[in-house]
Structure 1
Amino acid sequence: MVLSNTLFEEIRIFGTKFHKITVCDLLNSIVEYAKQDRKTVIGNVNTRGMNFAYDLPWYRDFINRSELVFCDGFGVLLGAKMLGYSVKSSHRMTCPDYIESLVLLCEQHNLSLYLLAGKPGVVDKAMAQMKAIAPNLRVAGHHGHFAKTGPENDAVIADINRFQPDVFYVGFGMPLQERWIVDNFDRIDARVFLPLGACLDFYTGTVYRGPQWMTDRGLEWLSRLLVEPGRLWRRYIVGNPLFFYRIFKQRIQQRFKALKR
C-alpha cells in the first residue's frame, strides 16, 4: 500500500489518522485514484474502528498506510473536537448516503466496479438497483460468505482478477475486511480498494438502518442497537464508552504535556 500523500488535513486520534474531507472530496478522490495505474486503499474510521486501531497494531498500520481515510461516525468527530480539532458534521459520511453518487460517477468516467459483500443475493439486488440508475455501469460481484483462505478464496480472487475492477468494494465488516485486504492485497488486480462494511445491506434494504432523522443526528447506532440488540450490544454499550474513556485519557495526556513545556 502507498503511504498517504494527500493535501487534506490529517487528524490523529490514538495515533490513528483520518482526513478532514467532505463527501465531494471523497468521491472525486476515488475517481482520480481509479484512473491511476497503481493500487490505492481508501479506509474509514468510526468509534469501533478506532477501538480496533487502539488494540490491534496491524489494524492501526492498515489505516495509517491507507492513501485516504474518511470519517464514518459522529462519535469520532466528537472525539476529535474534544481533542481540539476543528471539524464539522460535513466531515462525516456513511456509504449508503453516497453509494449512488459513486455509481453515477463510475458510469460517467467509464470506471468498473466490483462488489464483494453480503449474504448470497444481496450483491445481485444491489447491482440491479445500480443498473437501474446507471445502465452503462460496468459492474460485477460475489457474495461475502465464502472461506477466506484456500481454494474457495482462490476462486473468488480469480473472478475479481478476470474483471480487473477500477473500484473494488469489500464489505465483510471490521476488522475481517481489512485483514482480508492485507492478506490478499498483492494477489488482487484492482485499483481502488474500498472496505465499506454493511453498506450494501443498508442500500438494498436487507438490514434496516433506521429513520433518517436519527442517522442525520448521530443516532444511527441507537437505531441499529434497537433492531439487533443481541448482536450489537457489545459494540455500542461497551465500545462507545470505551472510546470516549480513551479520548479523555488522551486529552489529559495532552494537557499534561502542555504544562511541562
Structure 2
Amino acid sequence: MPNQRIHLLGANLDALSMQETLAKIEELIRLGKPSQHISINAGKINLMVRNPRLAEIINAAPLVSADGQSVVLAARYLGRHLPERVAGIDLFQELVKLSAEKGWKPYYFGAEEEVVERVVKLDQERYPELEIAGYRNGYFEEAESEQIAKEIRESGADILFVAFSSPKKEFWIHEYQETLQVPFMMGVGGSFDVLSGKTKRAPAWMQKAGLEWFYRFQQEPRRLFSRYIIGNLEFLFRVWREKRKEDKQ
C-alpha cells in the first residue's frame, strides 16, 4: 500500500479510510514485526505539545489514525486530505471480527477484571470461532510490567488491545514492544468500559457531528471540564494559529 501520510499540527497522520487502515494492519501482521498503532484526537495533539517524548513516539509509529472528528475537520480546514475518521473503538471491533475470520489471536489488556472478562465473553459469544490469546486487567505495579509483557508474548498473540488512558498506553506499548513481540499493538482507551456496558457511547449522529466529547462531558462535567472545554479551546487556537501562519507563507 502506498504511503499516504500527512503532517498535521505536529503529528504524522495516515490519510487512510477504515478499510485501508484494516488492509495496512493485515500487512503489518503478515510481516510479523512488533508495530504500534496510535489514534489521534484533539486532546492528544495538545498532549504532544507538552510532552516531547509522546510526540516522538507518535511520529515514529508505523500507523497513526484520526480518532477524533475534530482532527478530520481541522485537516480539511488546513487544506490536508483525510478521507474519514477511524475511531479507535470502531477499529477495535472491526479487528475482532477480522481476527475471527483470519485466525488471528487477540489479547485484551486493561480495565477492571469484571469489565475485561465481560468484553471477552461478549466477543466469544459473537464470534464462536474467535481464538483469544488471553486477557488480564489493567491494575498492576510498574515492576510487574516486564513479566506481564513476557506472558503476553508467550500467549502467541497476533494483536494486543491495551485499554489504558493516554499517554500511559502509548508509553507502555513503546517501552515493552520488543519484549512483547506482538505484530500489531494498539491502545483502545475506554473501549472496554463502553463495550461491556459500564459506560455509554454517544449516539451515532453526535459521533458524526464531532460532538462525542460533549456527550461524555455531560456525564462527568466536573471531572472532564479541563480536558474537553479548556482542551478544545486550546486545540482550536492551535488550528487558528496554524492557518494564520500558512496564509502568511
Bucket of the pairwise TM-score, normalised by the shorter protein: over 0.9
Q: Which amino acid aligns with 1:113?
A: P
Kept in 2, the 8 Å contact 1:14–1:54? The answer is: no
Deviation at 1:154, TM superposition (A): 3.3
Structure 1 residue 100 displacement after superposition: 3.1
The one-letter code of the counterpart of 1:180 is: W
- Post-superposition offset of 1:212: 2.4
- The 5-angstrom pairing of residues 92-103 of structure 1 reads 92-103=85-96
Q: Give, in angstroms, the shift of residue 59 of structure 1.
A: 1.0
1:16 and 1:187 mapped to 2: Cα distance?
26
Residue pair 2:106, 2:131 contacting (<8 A) in 1 also = yes
CA distance in 2, matches of 1:99, 1:37: 19
Determine the structure 2 residue equivalent to 1:209.
201
Worse overlay, 24-33 or 172-181: 24-33
Do residues 45 (structure 1) and 40 (structure 2) align?
A: yes
Give the letter for the 1:191 counterpart.
Answer: P
Stretches of structure 1 lacking an aligned partner (at least 5 in a row): 1-5
What is the TM-score of this pair, normalised by structure 1? 0.89
Contact 1:42 1:66 in 2 (8 A): yes
1:142 maps onto 2:136 in alignment: yes
Q: 1:32 Cα deviation (Å)?
A: 2.1
Aligned partner of 2:85: which letter?
Answer: R
SS in 2 for 1:185: helix
Indicate conservation of the 8 Å contact 2:162/2:187, yes or no: yes
Q: Does 1:218 align with 2:218?
A: no
For structure 2, the residue ranges without an aligned partner over 5 or more in a row are: none
The count of corresponding residues between Structure 1 and Structure 2 is 248
Matched, 1:64 2:52: no
Alignment of 1:94-243 (within 5 A): 94-139=87-132, 140-147=134-141, 149-150=142-143, 152-243=144-235
3-state secondary structure, aligned to 2:59: helix
Q: TM-score, normalized by length of structure 2?
A: 0.93
Instruction: Work out the CA distance in 1 between the residues paired with 2:82 and 2:22.
Output: 19
Code of the aligned partner of 2:241: K
Distance in structure 1 (CA, Å) of the matches to 2:92 and 2:7: 26
Name the SS for the 2:107 alignment partner.
strand
Bigger mean CA offset, 8-17 vs 103-112: 8-17
Contact 1:8 1:21 in 2 (8 A): no
Structure 1 vs Structure 2 CA RMSD: 1.6
CA distance in 1, matches of 2:51, 2:93: 33
Task: Give secondary structure in 2 for the equivalent of 1:43.
Answer: strand
C-alpha distance in structure 1 between counterparts of 2:220 and 2:120, whole Å? 26
- What is the CA-CA distance between 1:213 and the residue it aligns to? 2.2
Looking at structure 1, the residues matched to 94 and 177 of structure 2 have their Cα atoms a distance apart, in angstroms, of 26
User: What are the superposed Cα offsets for residues 37-57 of structure 1, whole Å, 9 maximum, x if unpaired?
Assistant: 211111110001111112211
Aligned to 1:3: none
SS in 2 for 1:78: helix
Q: Does 1:250 align with 2:242?
A: yes
Deviation of the 1:158 alpha carbon: 2.9
1:54 counterpart residue number: 49
Deviation at 1:70, TM superposition (A): 0.7
| Pairwise CA distance, 1:98 | 4.0
